[in-house]
Amino acid sequence: MEAAQQIRDAVAAVSLLRQEGLADPPLRDAVGEVKRLQSRRFAGTYADLLGGGPYAAASRFFLEELYSDKDYALRDEQFARIAGAIEKFFPRPVAQTAVDLALLHALTEDLDHALAKAWLAQLEEVQAPQRYVVAWRAVQRRADRERQLDVVMDIGQQMARLTRTPGLRLMLKMMRGPAAAAGLGSLQHFLESGFDTFAAMARRPRGAEQFLETVRGREQALIAALFDDELVACGTALAQTLGQAR
- Which tens digits make up the pLDDT trace of 178-235? 777 767 777 788 888 888 998 888 888 888 999 999 999 999 999 999 999 999 999 9
The answer, yes or no, to whether residue 173 has pLDDT greater than 70, is yes
Rounded to two decimals, the pTM is: 0.90
The span from the first CA to the last CA of the chain, in angstroms, equals 41
In Å, what is the CA distance from 61 to each residue of 14, 38, 96, 158? 22, 15, 19, 14
- Which tens digits make up the pLDDT trace of 101-154? 889 989 999 999 999 999 999 988 889 999 999 999 999 999 999 999 999 999
In Å, what is the CA distance from 19 to each residue of 6, 15, 90, 165, 216? 20, 6, 31, 40, 32
In Å, what is the CA distance from 215 to each residue of 36, 60, 95, 130, 198? 19, 12, 24, 23, 14
